[in-house]
Structure 1
Amino acid sequence: MKSFFFSVSIVLVSIISISSSGQRKPTLFSPGQLKEDLNYLRQLITTVHVNPNSELSPAQYDQLFNNIAISLQDSASATEFLKKVRPVIAYLSDEHAQINLKPELLDARYSSDAYYLPFTLKKEGNNYPIDQCLGAVAARYSGQIIRSINGVMVDKLVQACALSTTGFPFQRTVVALRQFGYLYPWASPTLDNSFTIRTTAGKTIELPGVSRKDWETWLASQSGVGSCTERLSYTRYGHIGYINACSFDVKATGKYSLDSIKAQIDHLFKQVQTDGVTKLVIDVSHNEGGSTGVGDYLISYVYHQPYLDYQVNWKRSDEYLKLLRSWGFDNAAYAGAPVGKVLHFPSEQVVPEQVPYPFKGKTFVVIGRPTFSSAMNFATLIKDNHMATLIGQTPVNGHPTGFGEMFYTNLPHTQIFVRFGVKEHIRPAGKMADNQLRPDILLTDKQMVDVNTLLQQLK
């Protein structure tokens, strides 16, 4: 199968607003309208997503939808409905999926009021201590082990936060802990701007809430990712060449077009050849994806034999065929297949592109927790075809087998935006129970603190 484009999706929950006096009131939708949206969402999950039952069985999904339908007894806003249906998308185990509302359609109080808890959590055994804090007041309680918040047990809140995100179960839990206070309004049965926290030691803590803006400012400060104006850059360290591939993002034209980036890669490898380095490091540890074409071209420089590409399953549906044609594309095999059929494309053998300055030394590829999307695709091809040595840390957001090629639409009444995959990309080595890309050489945070320290770990 030819290379694919993976959408880059950094999952932060889109949370917004409700009002003080004088601000607009949310539009309410009747139970009938909400049930129509729910039934449409149910139809999409069943007929369009390539593998909706990777986590829940059909019977379990039916029960989930039936429970939501039973709860729709009164008129509600789109935001209130969104809060109910987020788990439907979470259980797809689709890390590129989304379900959200445009800011102007969300209830205003999610933006303006202090409904957000001012801390993150970590998990130690069965305990949930406060980890990082927003502001000096909350910081006084860092390390305190939480039992409940406003009468709700903390483990239940963490589970509910996880179902407000997307991705695989472990991935959702990591996000729920790391963004606990930010996700809290979507998990809590009530909206509050002050919190009574009980600890396992019997202590009571009273904390005021913070705003969504406070949280987003803090998240931006914690990202740890600098600008990536140069998609790839090269530096020589003695006999080792180091390429920082911080992004595979491409544009249609200009400096960041695929052809321009390929020309940049040619230039870098010309310098690698001139320097005569014997080892080469390609660092995608902070690369969140873009075009698989960039990764494929890098492979052509470091691996000079045919290799196996991804397997692909592709679900046939009228909804996606209509969307595909609206983009000006068509596929005769897909269009001619019966609705509901999953077309399987086995791994194809790929012959690397001929390049002007091939590297013939030893190659290392660095992966990290943020490695995602097409950067994950690149690193997985490296691993499964034994092209180079993977070093670094196991990615949290990305997985070697997952969903891609996005279908998207809006629910007819609430206009909730829904996006998920119509293709399942299966790594060349096949599906594995452990759907993680684990490095050949595992490094600690200290060993990856800077480039010089990282290069000292090469064997």
Structure 2
Amino acid sequence: MKIHHLLFALGVWYAAPLHAGTASFSPAQLQQDLQFLRQAIENTHPDPALRSGRAVYEQAFKAAQARLQQPLSRDEAWRALAAMNPVFSDAHMGVVFPDWRSETRAYLAAGGRLFPFEVAIDGLGRLVITAALGGGASALAGRQVDSINGVPAARVLAELGALVHGDTPAFRNKILERRLWLYYWKRYGAVGQFTLGIGGKSLSMPAASATPAVMARDTSFEQTFQFRLLPGGVGLLTVNDFSWPDKKLFYAFTERAFTTLREAGAQTLLIDVRENTGGDDDMWKTGILRYIADKPYRNGSSYIKKVIAGRAGPGEKVGDVVTGQVDSWVQPEPAHPLHFNGKVFVLVGDMTYSSAILFSNTVQDHGFAKLVGAGGYAYVRQTGGIQKQHLLPHTGLEVVVPRFVLDRPSGKREPALVQPDIVLADDPFDRQALVNALLKHPAATGN
């Protein structure tokens, strides 16, 4: 997107009347929140304009300042500030609601209602129904939505997308499709009835009281981590998180998985991190790479960091911007009795992020596995060390900020976005489709 188009998107749509709500905060309070937000970023991030460039970064704050010249409700204040999120171009950085899940549960418990469908946004930017809100079956699954309450769906997606944080427009679309009900509510206010334009017809339906799928998803260990043997001596290890309170439980799980691979004589392993948004690197170092790494490795190369309180190293002081090299190499364990010598493929997707990208960078750069799936969503040069303690003093909104930027192990900065070795499309209606396509690919079959 060209710069003048980006700035236009940041400011102009606020000229239209917004859902009023209760005007709770004065312009002076809102300007103080904006100043607090900027200071939190400047005090934490080593290079706040990393993704936008300084001119666009500065203009984003000027535009926000102009939007805060009248009393606003909390939701209106969020809309004014969140318009900076796309400028940051980082899913680790943005203005967010500090506990939108609890707020949504309270809203539903009090009789509030939400957009009634789970949706996908396809590669052409079209809004497609995938299920009823909460994940239940819907007769409209697979149908394209042309309009919502008389507004073209393309316009709705553009206005909501202008509030979403994330690395790229494609990545922000994937966040938006999982939380469209939230952004719609926070942009347009409470709506009790919806009229959708579908296939040239207008269909009316009430808003839904169901708990959205992204909140209702089973977060049990068994749903988060799975292993199964597929026909033909193929293991499928699904790891949807690299953050789990009982890491020993995870390590025992992966040990059993690699034991099963050894006993079955499996020659191919698929590691699915398509839904893994990150966590702790030690989970994949200890739980996965100890079984597949065959040479020394590191999770990054050069880095730049901001020294913050409580994190100063020898010779460092708070406020310093420090550059350096990752010099902590992990030694492989090729003699481990469960070491896997077969083919390894890592399935990446539109929600692979943070530590899961560091994992995919590591296996790709060191040749431990081939990446498979869709690329172009997120940056391989990842930010990290996010700080979540920055609550704006008046509105209580939160600014999330990272404190370091890490280059991939090879040090290469091109391509800038995740690029699989084998590009295969994902099917939002069938998560197994990518697995099936890979197993027919010459790289897996050896043909």
Q: Aligning the two structures, in what range does the TM-score lie when normalised by the shorter sequence? A: 0.7 to 0.9
Among residues 63, 73, 77, which one is paired with 1:77 in the alignment?
A: 73
Structure-2 residue corresponding to 1:388:
369
Pairing 1:360-439 to 2, within 5 Å after superposition: 361-369=341-349, 370-391=351-372, 393-394=373-374, 399-408=379-388, 409-429=390-410, 430-439=412-421
CA distance in 2, matches of 1:372, 1:39: 29
- Report deviation, 1:170: 1.6
Structure-1 residue corresponding to 2:185:
185
1:207 partnered with 2:204: yes
Pairing 1:105-184 to 2, within 5 Å after superposition: 112-114=111-113, 116=115, 118=117, 120=119, 122-123=121-122, 125=124, 128=126, 130-132=128-130, 134=132, 143=143, 146=146, 149-150=149-150, 152-168=151-167, 169-177=169-177, 179-184=179-184
Alignment check: 8 A CA contact 2:128 2:145 kept: yes
Alignment check: 8 A CA contact 1:48 1:422 kept: yes
Give deviations 1:236-280, integer Å, cap 9, x for gaps.
8554444444543332xxxx235x544554454455444444444
Which letter maps to 1:356? H
Cα 1:447–1:274, aligned 2, differ >3 Å: closer, same or farther? same
Which letter maps to 2:339? F
CA distance in 2, matches of 1:61, 1:424: 18
Pairing 1:36-115 to 2, within 5 Å after superposition: 36-97=32-93, 99-102=96-99, 112-114=111-113
CA distance in 1, matches of 2:22, 2:82: 19
1:250 partnered with 2:248: no
Cα 1:291–1:346, aligned 2, differ >3 Å: closer, same or farther? closer
Give deviations 1:27-86, integer Å, cap 9, x for gaps.
822211111011111222334223322443323232222222223233333232112111
- Report deviation, 1:362: 2.2
Structure-1 residue corresponding to 2:222:
228
Alignment check: 8 A CA contact 1:95 1:397 kept: no
CA distance in 1, matches of 2:123, 2:403: 37
CA distance in 1, matches of 2:232, 2:199: 54
Alignment check: 8 A CA contact 1:163 1:172 kept: no
Cα 1:296–1:89, aligned 2, differ >3 Å: closer, same or farther? same
Which letter maps to 2:401? F
Which letter maps to 1:372? Y
CA distance in 2, matches of 1:144, 1:453: 25
Structure-2 residue corresponding to 1:448:
432
What TM-score, normalized to structure 1? 0.73
Pairing 1:310-321 to 2, within 5 Å after superposition: 310-317=300-307, 321=308
Q: Which runs of 5+ in 2 are unaligned?
A: 1-20
CA distance in 2, matches of 1:143, 1:241: 34
- Report deviation, 1:200: 9.8
Cα 1:117–1:35, aligned 2, differ >3 Å: closer, same or farther? farther
- Report deviation, 1:303: 2.2
Alignment check: 8 A CA contact 2:270 2:347 kept: no
Alignment check: 8 A CA contact 1:291 1:374 kept: yes
Cα 1:34–1:232, aligned 2, differ >3 Å: closer, same or farther? same
Which letter maps to 1:386? G
Identity %: 20
Alignment check: 8 A CA contact 1:372 1:395 kept: no
Alignment check: 8 A CA contact 1:26 1:107 kept: no
Give deviations 1:200-245, integer Å, cap 9, x for gaps.
96x6x3635514x43x345567x69985368464648554444444
Cα 1:115–1:312, aligned 2, differ >3 Å: closer, same or farther? same
Cα 1:336–1:187, aligned 2, differ >3 Å: closer, same or farther? same
- Report deviation, 1:166: 1.7
Alignment check: 8 A CA contact 1:246 1:284 kept: yes
Alignment RMSD, CA only? 4.1
Which letter maps to 1:302? I
Which letter maps to 2:165? T
Among residues 265, 279, 303, which one is paired with 1:290 in the alignment?
A: 279
Structure-2 residue corresponding to 1:352:
332
Alignment check: 8 A CA contact 1:302 1:358 kept: no
Alignment check: 8 A CA contact 2:348 2:371 kept: no
Secondary structure of the corresponding residue to residue 29 of structure 1:
coil
Give deviations 1:2-42, integer Å, cap 9, x for gaps.
xxxxxxxxxxxxxxxxxxxxxxx968222111110111112
Greater length-normalized contact order (CA 8 Å, ≥ 6 residues apart): 1
- Report deviation, 1:108: 7.9
1:331 partnered with 2:313: yes
Among residues 288, 305, 311, which one is paired with 2:295 in the alignment?
A: 305
Cα 1:155–1:88, aligned 2, differ >3 Å: closer, same or farther? same
Alignment check: 8 A CA contact 2:426 2:434 kept: no
CA distance in 2, matches of 1:133, 1:447: 14
CA distance in 2, matches of 1:199, 1:243: 39
Alignment check: 8 A CA contact 2:290 2:339 kept: no
CA distance in 2, matches of 1:148, 1:270: 52
Alignment check: 8 A CA contact 1:389 1:440 kept: yes
Secondary structure of the corresponding residue to residue 380 of structure 1:
helix
- Report deviation, 1:301: 2.0
Alignment check: 8 A CA contact 2:276 2:356 kept: yes
- Report deviation, 1:450: 9.1
Cα 1:70–1:288, aligned 2, differ >3 Å: closer, same or farther? closer
Cα 1:145–1:246, aligned 2, differ >3 Å: closer, same or farther? closer
Cα 1:228–1:87, aligned 2, differ >3 Å: closer, same or farther? farther
